Amino acid sequence: MKKNKLKKGSKKARLEELVKERIENLYNISSQETIKGNIDYARELNELIFRLSLRNKVKIPLSIKRGICKNCHATLIPGITSSVRIRSQGKMHYLTIKCIKCGYIKRIPFKK
């Protein structure tokens, strides 16, 4: 487990916590809007997530990063905006997530 290099009370640490909290809130709203059918609004929210992380030099959590299409910034929800398959090549196994909107394929390796 990595230790946070910043002190708990420092200004940068507080800013980082606020930005991460904001990113999580925006992602939750984005996924709810995608389920409702407002995919364009959800894309705008996801673009805002990327702008926030770039502007404040904060990493997007892995679970959120894997839930957003890298090409069109759509929220990837299985059955609505993405299709999920398990593929294997020899000893390697991949989780392939295909965006239905743009066709981008995201491959995530895992061990069985």
In this predicted structure, the answer to whether residue 1 has a pLDDT above a threshold of 50 is no
Predicted TM-score (pTM) of the model is 0.84
In the chain, what are the domain boundaries?
A: 11-110
Q: Mean per-residue pLDDT for 52-76?
A: 95
pLDDT digits (tens, 9 = 90+) for 12-62: 889 999 999 999 999 999 999 999 999 999 999 999 999 999 999 999 999
Q: What is the pLDDT of residue 34?
A: 95
Give the contacts of 39 (CB within 8 A, at least 6 positions apart): 33, 74, 75, 81, 101
